[in-house]
Amino acid sequence: MVRLNERLKKIYDQVRPGESVCDVGTDHGYVPLALLESGISEKVIMSDISAGSLLKCKENAEALLPDAAPFDLRQGSGIEVLESGEVDTVIMAGMGGMLITEILGKDYHHSHSFKRYILQPRKHVGRLRYWLLDNDFTVVHEDLAREGKFIWPILTVESFGRALFVNADPDDIEFEYPLTLLDHRNEHTEEYIKNALRLERLKLESKSEGSLTTFKELRTQKHRVERLEYMAERL
Ligand SMILES: C[S@@+](CC[C@H](N)C(=O)[O-])C[C@H]1O[C@@H](n2cnc3c(N)ncnc32)[C@H](O)[C@@H]1O
């Protein structure tokens, strides 16, 4: 039986029954293998840029689901391994947020040919959210999952756009900690927000003491703290 930790299980849970899936950067392949095993997806593609990762995935697949062979394993970068519209849902997990934007940004029509994405960035989630909004993708579900000492965001994204506001900056805290995190709160939300608030307060303290801090930097940092205080009061 394929075993999933909390992070992988929450990614798995975002796939709807009957959807075909490609897991980009699959490495161990556990999520697509679990989807095949449970019958949630009949068609899964496992892809990775690394031959070593793909070999690991193949060995796991043959050991865990010998009856499901042959497996659709593809080596290559991002969604280049797919024909346009070839699957319903693309998963990209455990990759940097900026790498995800590079993969999606290569070809607008190709990336919009897939209906849904399940994205679990390791870094730069604010910049990823900004980029998605700016490129006609909409976050329809937010989740948080614990893995060891980390709490990771998981974004379910659909391929339709809403008009972007003006004067936004990719580093704005609103993209890192959107209010939708409160709408989709779970057992990790309080710790996630309070940790962020603690770190941002420490930064404010050190910026307040720094003689080189500009007024604008101080105001921005104060805004970051107040934003998180606003969210913490509504947990
Ligand atoms: C940290 S692992 C994540 C594995 C799994 N998705 C997870 O969330 O547990 C990142 C994987 O992404 C793969 N990767 C990195 N850049 C990639 C790209 N441009 N296209 C496809 N895979 C990539 C790496 O080879 C590696 O196997």
pLDDT per position as a tens digit, 90-128: 999 999 999 999 999 999 999 999 999 999 999 999 999
Question: pLDDT, tens digit, for every residue of 195-224?
Answer: 999 999 999 999 998 888 898 899 999 999
Residue 50 covered by a domain? yes
**What residues flank ligand 1, with Cβ below 6 Å?**
24-27, 48-50, 53, 77-78, 93-95, 99, 103
Task: Verify that 118 and 228 share a domain, yes or no.
Answer: no
Alpha-carbon distance 197 to 199, whole Å? 5
Residue 183 in domain: no
Q: In what order do the strands lie in the sheet with 89-95?
A: 72-75, 44-48, 21-24, 89-95, 116-121, 150-158, 138-147
**Residues 105, 34 share a domain:** yes
What is this structure's pTM?
0.92
Q: Which of 122, 148, 164 is the last residue of a domain?
A: 164
121 and 226 both lie in a single domain: no
CA of 93 relative to ligand 1 center, distance in Å: 7
pLDDT 10s digits, 129-143: 999 998 989 999 999
Out of 7-16, 56-65, 84-93, 163-172, pick the least confident: 163-172
Q: Is 148 in the same domain as 193?
A: no
Domain that holds residue 146: 6-164
pLDDT at res. 213:
84
pLDDT at residue 151 in the model: 98
The 3-state DSSP class for residue 196 equals helix
Q: Is the pLDDT of residue 179 over 70?
A: yes
Nearest alpha carbon, ligand 1 atom 5: 26
Look at residue 167 in the predicted model and tell me its pLDDT.
74
80 and 129 fall within a common domain: yes
Q: pLDDT at position 161, please?
A: 78
Any idea what the CATH number is for the domain that residue 93 is in? 3.40.50.150
Specify which residues 72 forms β-bridges with: 45
Q: How many domains does the chain have?
A: 2
Same domain, 53 and 101: yes
Q: Cis peptide before 70, with omega less than 30 degrees from 0? A: yes
211 is written with which tokens?
A: 């003689």
**pLDDT for 168:** 83
List the residue whose alpha carbon is closest to atom 27 of ligand 1: 27
Q: Is residue 180 part of a domain?
A: no
DSSP states along 22-41: EEET-TT-HHHHHHHHHTS-
Give which of 105, 115, 167, 113 is closest to 138, Cα–Cα.
115
Q: What angle do CA 169, 226, 208 make, to 5 degrees?
A: 90
Nearest CA to ligand 1 atom 13: 25
Say yes or no: 122 and 195 in one domain.
no
Question: Does residue 200 share a domain with residue 93?
Answer: no
How close is the Cα of 79 to the center of ligand 1, in Å?
A: 12
Whether 23 and 114 share a structural domain:
yes
65 with 14, same domain?
A: yes
112 to 77, 106, 108, 135, 170: CA distances (angstroms):
17, 11, 6, 10, 21
**One domain, residues 115 and 199:** no
Query: Is residue 172 situated within a structural domain?
Result: no
Q: Is 72 helix (H, G, I), strand (E, B) or coil?
A: strand
